[in-house]
Amino acid sequence: MNIQLLPSSFDGQGQATGDQRLTCYLLDDCVAVDAGSVAIALSDDQRQRVRDIIVTHPHMDHIASLPIFIDDLFASLKEPVRIHATQVVIDSLERDVFNWNVYPRFSELTNEHGPVMKYVPIMIGKEFQVAHLRVTAIAVNHIVPTVGLLISDDRTTVAFSSDTAETQEFWDLLNRTPHIDALLIEASFPNAMSELAEVTRHFTPASLQEELKKLNHNGLDILTVHLKPTYREKLIEELKALGIPKLEVMEPGRTYSW
Ligand SMILES: [Zn+2]
Ligand SMILES: [Zn+2]
């Protein structure tokens, strides 16, 4: 499986930087997990292939350019863009984003080929198929209903925490999965900001270290994501100091393969 954390920040020459302001992963060039930078960071070829987007929760950094992505493709879509999300997230997208005020309600619009956007409700804890991937969504602990994900193809399994603070069912799911190749997990705020991290339900390196004690797997790659750009250097330092084997900060723009 190939996974890219799409870039969301660019320098004066237009080159992607390491700062992650938005969340959007591209899996095997065709499935997106969250949609923060989906309209700004895909190649033309990828844009033509991505028709499935899994949305973990409706926070702006995870959906920012989703409306623009569908707008860009509106005339050329030969099949709808499928938004896979829990019903509560779908309701929020319809009420707060695609509401004819912030943006058009694409779920009610068609082009000459048919509908341009379709919601596919996902059930928590029940495996579903997205393109060639098998996906299980599980509730995590964030300030709005949010799901973590376990995603497998025939050979590889990767877990995504999404945004969360200390949680349990996610780890239970991982611990009953025979093999996991990689865990992509958030580390948003430095240790000195643990209060804000608690209120907004995110991890610091220290709380992440505690949390990882719940994981019964060894030897998997642990890629930290969602580092707030303002504290990126400090976070990198604190994450390194944990001394956890195979834990790295995920680099936006790089393709990781398992
Ligand atoms: Zn969030
Ligand atoms: Zn977020």
Domain assignment of residue 96, given as a range = 2-257
What average pLDDT does the chain have? 97
Whose atoms come closest to the Cα of 36: which ligand? 2
Banded pLDDT at 35 (limits 50, 70, 90): very high
Whose atoms come closest to the Cα of 228: which ligand? 2
Predicted pLDDT at 70: 98
Using the mean position of ligand 1's atoms as its centre, give its distance from the Cα of residue 54 in Å: 14
Using the mean position of ligand 2's atoms as its centre, give its distance from the Cα of residue 59 in Å: 6
Using the mean position of ligand 1's atoms as its centre, give its distance from the Cα of residue 241 in Å: 26
For a pLDDT cut of 70, what percent of the chain falls above it? 100
Say if residues 206 and 191 touch (Cβ distance below 8 Å).
yes
Q: How many domains does the chain have?
A: 1
Segment 36-54 mean pLDDT: 97
Using the mean position of ligand 2's atoms as its centre, give its distance from the Cα of residue 81 in Å: 22
Predicted pLDDT at 32: 98
* Confidence check: pLDDT of 94 > 90: yes
Cα 29 versus chain centre, distance: 15
Using the mean position of ligand 1's atoms as its centre, give its distance from the Cα of residue 37 in Å: 15
Using the mean position of ligand 1's atoms as its centre, give its distance from the Cα of residue 142 in Å: 7
Task: Please list, in sequence order, all residues whose beta carbon lies within 8 angstroms of the beta carbon of residue 173, skipping any fewer than 6 positions away.
Answer: 125, 136, 138, 148, 150
Could you give the C-alpha distances from 19 to 43, 70, 163, 212, 232, in angstroms and in order? 19, 25, 17, 24, 7
Segment 157-183 mean pLDDT: 98
Predicted pLDDT at 154: 87
Using the mean position of ligand 2's atoms as its centre, give its distance from the Cα of residue 228 in Å: 9
Using the mean position of ligand 1's atoms as its centre, give its distance from the Cα of residue 22 in Å: 10
Segment 108-121 mean pLDDT: 98
Using the mean position of ligand 1's atoms as its centre, give its distance from the Cα of residue 59 in Å: 5
Predicted pLDDT at 114: 98
Using the mean position of ligand 2's atoms as its centre, give its distance from the Cα of residue 100 in Å: 25
Predicted pLDDT at 188: 98
Model pLDDT for residues 121-148, shown as the tens digit of each residue: 999 999 999 999 999 999 999 999 999 9
Domain at 128, CATH number = 3.60.15.10
Q: Alpha-carbon distance 48 to 79, whole Å?
A: 11
Amino acid identity, residue 220?
A: L
Model pLDDT for residues 175-201, shown as the tens digit of each residue: 999 999 999 999 999 999 999 999 999
Whose atoms come closest to the Cα of 201: which ligand? 1
Q: Alpha-carbon distance 81 to 77, whole Å?
A: 8
* Confidence check: pLDDT of 18 > 90: yes
